[in-house]
Structure 1
């Protein structure tokens, strides 16, 4: 009996469909189009990959009234694990932030607004970790979500994981904008 994960074992619904409904708003990227392929710049730079490992440029608008801060996440629901794979989380983005440049997710967060910080990804780093699906696997979805929050203080710091950060920001999400990039190795 084979214990290998197959594409039929993995979630096919977007993971955001499983979350409570919130007010939608818009997010776009100059780095990729919604449903389109991620650029080489957004591919991991280790594990046999030679990408740029840069977070994509993101711009958002139309967040609901009452937004006090934002969190951004990148999640791969197609990773061959029981829990998907967290590639990036930024929290503490001020309410007047409407974009991040490509590469804002580099370690140290020098391009992030004051007060914003990244939490540990499933790569174990506090930085954006690019696409790195197993060779020959199905095309993976990289779901970038901008979460509009009703608080400017989640009571967490950069020592928490992306999962713990999500547990906290999802309780305060009043709006969400989603853009999905695809990648297959």
Structure 2
């Protein structure tokens, strides 16, 4: 009988952690664990970016997916509850990407209000000197469209997404606002 090595067991466990056909999220604009370009930063609150939403692509949706949502969330915001930077809901399951700088010109789906108090993408803008923040871009596979309005609070949308998701994929990029 052959005994598996530690390396073989580790490889098997890692392969099992990501099921075949698991949802994936990628981008030509931002990359896992990497700093985001200033062009994606918010223009306001002391930040001087272009507020461009990044390009996002996804694939391998789970069976039963009828609707998609895309969110951007900063768990490091000094609020006690994070910061919602972008919420797009009710995209058709047939859609597989959002173009760079798509916010504000979506032909399908609904952009909801963010924690900035406005609809659409609100880019990174951590407080000056606060250090690096993570920005979690997530695509959510849902069994149906969400019954929400443009002014539904972001925390409520987050609750609904987590309660209903058939699957999700996240890409986490980072951003630092320089000390002034």
- TM-score, length-normalised on structure 1? 0.81
Helix, strand or coil at the partner of 1:60: strand
Mapped partners of 2:47, 2:25: distance in 1: 28
Mapped partners of 1:161, 1:54: distance in 2: 23
Q: Does 2:127 align with 1:169?
A: no
- Once superposed, which parts of structure 1, at least 4 consecutive aligned residues long, lie more than 2 Å away? none
Structure 1 segment 108-123 matched on structure 2, within 5 A: 110=105, 112-114=106-108, 116-123=109-116
Structure 1 segment 1-185 matched on structure 2, within 5 A: 24-106=22-104, 110=105, 112-114=106-108, 116-151=109-144, 153-185=145-177
Deviation, 1:39, is 1.2
User: Are the counterparts in 2 of residues 42 and 130 from structure 1 also a CA contact under 8 Å?
Assistant: yes
Supply the RMSD in Å over aligned alpha carbons: 1.5
Gaps of 5+ in 1: 1-21
Mapped partners of 1:68, 1:149: distance in 2: 6
Gaps of 5+ in 2: 1-18
User: Are the counterparts in 2 of residues 43 and 51 from structure 1 also a CA contact under 8 Å?
Assistant: yes
- The Cα offsets for residues 131-160 of structure 1, whole Å up to 9 and x where unpaired, read as 000111120000000000011x22112121
User: Are the counterparts in 2 of residues 94 and 113 from structure 1 also a CA contact under 8 Å?
Assistant: no
- TM-score, length-normalised on structure 2? 0.83
Bigger helix fraction:
2
Deviation, 1:31, is 0.8
User: Are the counterparts in 2 of residues 89 and 121 from structure 1 also a CA contact under 8 Å?
Assistant: yes
